[in-house]
C-alpha cells in the first residue's frame, strides 16, 4: 500500500481515548475506523462489521495462515485481535484516511510497517494515580479488574517513547485540541 494515511490513537484504559476518537470522526469527514477482527463475543450493542468482525478461533487461524492480517495479538485469556489488510486497503482505495484503535504492541507494529504514512499518538494520563481515580469514578471496575487495568497501564506507559507524539491528557478539551492540530497537519 503506497498511498493512504493512517492514524493510531493509543491510551491506557480510562485515558479518554474513545471520546477523543469520537471527536475526530466528527471533525474529519474522511476519517474511517479500521474494523479489526476478533475472537471475543460481541458486547451488547456491538455490530458485526461495524465495531469488529466477530469470527471464530478457527477462522482467525485460517486468516493468519492466509496472511490476511497486517498485525495481530493474542491476549492472556486467549482472545485474538487483528488488523485486516483488506479492511484498510478497501478504505484507502475509497479515498478515506484510517483511524486505528488498537493496543500498544499492535500500534508499534503498524507504525513500523507504514512509516511516514502513519501518525502514532500516545495519550498519556498525567499520572497513574489520576488514572486510578478516573477509573474508580467511572465505576466500571471491581477491585480485581481495576488492579489488572492499572498493571496493564503501567506496562503500556513504558512504550510511549516509541510513538510519534505523546499527549498528556490533563484536561480532555486541551488534549483534544492538540490531537486535532496534529491530525489536521498530518492529513494536509
Ligand atoms: P475490546 O475487547 O475492549 O474491544 O479491546 C481490547 C483491546 O484490544 C483494546 O486495547 C483494543 O484497542 C485492542 N484491539 C482491538 N483491535 C485490535 C487489533 O486489530 N489489533 C491489536 N493489536 N489490538 C486490537
Radius of gyration of the chain (CA): 16
How sure is the predictor about 155, in pLDDT bands with cuts at 50, 70 and 90?
Answer: very high
**pTM of the predicted model as reported, rounded to 2 decimal places:** 0.92
- pLDDT, mean of residues 141-159: 91
Pocket test for ligand 1, best of 36, 80, 86, 99 (most atoms within 8 A of CB): 36
Q: pLDDT digits over 9-44, tens only?
A: 999 876 788 899 999 999 999 999 999 999 999 999
CA–CA distances in Å: residue 118 to residues 1, 2, 3, 4: 12, 12, 11, 9
Q: Could you give the domains of the chain? A: 6-36+92-187 (3.40.50.300)
Largest CA distance in the chain: 46
Query: Ligand 1: which residue has its CA nearest to atom 14?
Result: 102
Which phi and psi angles does 125 have, rounded to 5°? -70, 150
Q: How far is the CA of 104 from the centre of ligand 1 (A)?
A: 9
**In the chain, where do the E strands start and end?**
6-10, 31-33, 36-38, 52-54, 69-74, 80-84, 97-100, 118-124, 165-168
**Atom of ligand 1 lying closest to residue 40 CA:** 2
Burial of 53 (0-12, 13-18, 19+ CB in 10 A): middle
Q: pLDDT digits over 65-117, tens only?
A: 999 999 999 987 899 999 999 999 999 999 999 999 999 999 999 999 999 99
Pocket test for ligand 1, best of 83, 86, 104, 106 (most atoms within 8 A of CB): 106
**Atom of ligand 1 lying closest to residue 105 CA:** 22
Q: How far is the CA of 173 from the centre of ligand 1 (A)?
A: 25
Q: How far is the CA of 37 from the centre of ligand 1 (A)?
A: 9
Q: How far is the CA of 103 from the centre of ligand 1 (A)?
A: 5
| Region at 67 (left for phi over 0; alpha for psi -120 to 50; beta for the rest) | left
User: What pLDDT is recorded for position 139?
Assistant: 86
Burial of 117 (0-12, 13-18, 19+ CB in 10 A): middle
Amino acid at each position: 500500500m503506497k498511498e493512504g494515511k493512517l492514524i493510531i490513537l493509543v491510551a491506557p484504559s480510562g485515558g479518554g481515548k474513545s471520546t477523543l476518537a469520537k471527536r475526530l470522526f466528527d471533525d474529519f469527514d474522511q476519517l474511517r475506523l479500521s474494523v479489526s477482527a476478533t475472537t471475543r463475543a460481541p458486547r451488547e450493542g456491538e455490530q458485526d462489521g461495524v465495531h469488529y468482525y466477530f469470527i471464530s478461533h478457527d477462522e482467525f487461524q485460517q486468516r493468519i495462515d492466509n496472511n490476511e492480517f497486517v498485525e495481530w495479538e493474542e491476549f492472556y485469556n486467549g482472545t485474538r485481535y487483528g488488523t485486516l489488510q483488506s479492511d484498510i486497503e478497501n478504505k484507502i482505495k475509497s479515498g478515506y484516511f484510517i483511524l486505528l484503535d488498537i493496543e500498544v504492541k499492535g500500534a508499534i507494529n503498524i507504525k513500523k510497517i507504514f512509516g511516514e504514512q502513519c501518525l502514532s499518538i500516545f495519550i498519556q494520563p498525567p499520572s497513574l494515580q489520576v488514572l486510578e481515580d478516573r477509573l474508580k469514578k467511572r465505576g466500571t471496575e471491581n477491585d480485581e479488574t481495576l488492579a489488572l487495568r492499572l498493571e496493564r497501564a503501567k506496562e503500556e506507559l513504558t512504550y510511549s517513547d516509541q510513538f510519534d507524539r505523546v499527549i498528556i491528557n490533563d484536561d480532555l478539551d486541551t488534549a483534544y485540541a492538540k490531537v486535532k492540530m496534529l491530525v489536521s497537519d498530518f492529513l494536509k
